[in-house]
Amino acid sequence: MAAKVRDWIQSRPEGGIAVLFVVVQAVVVLSAVAMPDFRYLTQANIAVTLKAIAPLGIMALGVGILMIAGEFDLSVGALYSFCAIVTATLTNAWGADIDAEGANALLPFVAMAIGLLIGTLAGIVHAVITLRFNIPSFITTLGAMLIWKGATLLFHGATSLRFKPSEPFASIFGGQIGVVHASMFWFLGMAVVFFFLLHRHRLGNHFFAVGGNRNAAVAIGINPARTKIIAFAICGFMAALSGIVAGVRVSSIQPGGGIGLELVAIAACVIGGHALMGGRGSILGIVLGTALMFTIQDVLLLLRAPGFYFEMFVGGLIVIAVIMNMAIRRKG
């Protein structure tokens, strides 16, 4: 049994983070049991932590798919805000103009579809520019980040926007069952979908092949351009979904609320075992990487540590995770 566990850890990209996640959870749980004042296991704390994990996790799923295909998208944080602002603005405007109850119930879903479409099309545009002009995706999406940030301010301004959609939309995306918020169900549901897409579908093989060795992928009949466009589109779609889900969760949207999340999402993927050069990664790694980051943030908050400690710990965790993954791969 021990040999099988060791082989799994050495053969899987999420092997190192799985070990680290179990160790960290064991330490904090034992600490919570030994010290009643350390409220890690309280129902309120668990509910808040689960609620916070989901939006970043949803974004990280799209970012991770794109990283496996060998590309980056630094605009996802700006898209997160822009698509959510568009969705909320349309919902509020249409809701004020139409009084029919049945129509009001459908309006948020239509507005959300438009927001998701914008995110998807933005991803496709980023891909086409990157591939057509042979520009590093880092540069393309760095420029796109500034464009979408400016577009958000142009579309709405710098003030926060109220977002309280009607039922059943509010319950589907903002309801809660016990301590688990609806956003967590969406995160886990999308993780399952992407698990089968990435690890059980031919398209997932194409992502790994294109990110790992483009020339070899071409040799076996894979179209790298089409594969990367799909990966960019998924990344844009997930950034939009993340922003909308987060907006429903807190009932308001900040125009600059997504700025900086792109780096945190990339960090979650790297901590989860993704290779920066592409061709390696897993959905489980993304889930564990995101959960570990928020576990550390939660512990720091419970210990009343200054906010900047979180960034320091995440930076250190990235380095530790990469070292662990490299060590495990060498032993494998």
Residue 306: its pLDDT value, please? 78
- Residue 134: how many CB atoms within 10 A of its CB? 6
Distance CA 247, CA 256 (A): 12
Please answer whether residues 235 and 63 qualify as being in contact, where contact means their C-beta atoms are separated by less than 8 angstroms.
yes
Report the chain's mean pLDDT, rounded to a whole number: 88
The CATH number of the structural domain formed by 39-322 is 1.10.3470
Give per-residue pLDDT as tens, 284-299: 999 999 999 889 888 8
Residue 15: its pLDDT value, please? 76
Residue 100: its pLDDT value, please? 46
Q: Has residue 332 got a pLDDT over 70?
A: no
Q: Has residue 327 got a pLDDT over 70?
A: no
What values do phi and psi take at 99, rounded to 5? -100, -15
Q: Which two tokens stand for residue 187?
A: 């995160």
Give per-residue pLDDT as tens, 159-209: 888 898 888 898 999 998 888 999 999 999 999 999 999 999 999 999 999
With residue 217 as reference, give the H or E element that holds it: helix 214-219
Residue 317: its pLDDT value, please? 74
Q: Has residue 150 got a pLDDT over 50?
A: yes
Q: What is the DSSP annotation of 88-122? A: HHHHHHHHHH---HHHHHHHHHHHHHHHHHHHHHH
Give per-residue pLDDT as tens, 223-252: 999 999 999 999 999 999 999 999 998 888
Q: Has residue 138 got a pLDDT over 70?
A: yes
Residue 75: its pLDDT value, please? 96
Give per-residue pLDDT as tens, 72-110: 999 999 999 999 999 999 998 876 555 544 457 788 999
Q: SS3 of 254, please?
A: coil
Compute the average pLDDT of residues 146-150.
95
Residue 238: its pLDDT value, please? 98
Give per-residue pLDDT as tens, 9-58: 667 777 778 888 899 899 999 999 998 888 999 999 998 888 889 999 99
Residue 105: its pLDDT value, please? 78
Compute the average pLDDT of residues 256-280.
88
Q: Tell me which residue of 205, 181, 274, 194 sits closest to 238, measured CA to CA.
A: 194
Residue 313: its pLDDT value, please? 77
For the entire predicted model, the pTM comes to 0.93
Query: Domain coordinates of the chain in residue numbers?
Result: 39-322
